[in-house]
Every structure is written in structure tokens, then in C-alpha cells.
Amino acid sequence: MRNVLKAGAYVAAFAAATVAARADGDPEAGKNVFKKCHACHNIGEGAHNSVGPELNGVVGRKAGTVEGYS
């Protein structure tokens, strides 16, 4: 559980920095930024847990509750 919380903190810090740097909401820039995350996370139709959990529905989801990911 501690690792999940650490990972969540890193993701939150990275996301906050990204949002601050990209306040214009450029989707193409977001795709490029997500390439770093994609090494461990999947998103979209057919996403699956990998090194990190899949990120579909991450906004509003309680931390550590992705089914099938320990």
C-alpha cells in the first residue's frame, strides 16, 4: 500500500507540473507527455494492468482500488 501511495504522489506531482506547463490544454502535447507514463500504464479501450495499473477512470477513483492490480 505504501508503494501505491508513493506512486500516486509521483503521478500527482508530475500531473500538476504538466498542467502548469501546459495550461493551454494542447492534446498533442499531452500525448507526448504521456509517452513517459505509458512505459508503466495503459489507458483507453483494451487497457490492462502492467507494471502500473491501467488509468481508465483514474479521476475520482479511490487510490489502490484498481481491480486485478496488487
pLDDT in tens, 14-70: 666 555 555 578 888 888 999 999 999 999 999 999 999 999 999 999 998 998 888
The angle at the Cα of 50, spanning 46 to 51, to the nearest 5 degrees, equals 160
Rounded Cα gap, residues 50 and 56, in angstroms = 13
Output the pTM of the full model: 0.57
For residue 44, what pLDDT is reported?
A: 92
User: Do residues 3 and 15 lie in contact, with contact meaning Cβ atoms separated by under 8 Å?
Assistant: no
C-alpha distances out from residue 33 to 2, 14, 45, 63, 67, Å: 26, 10, 19, 22, 26
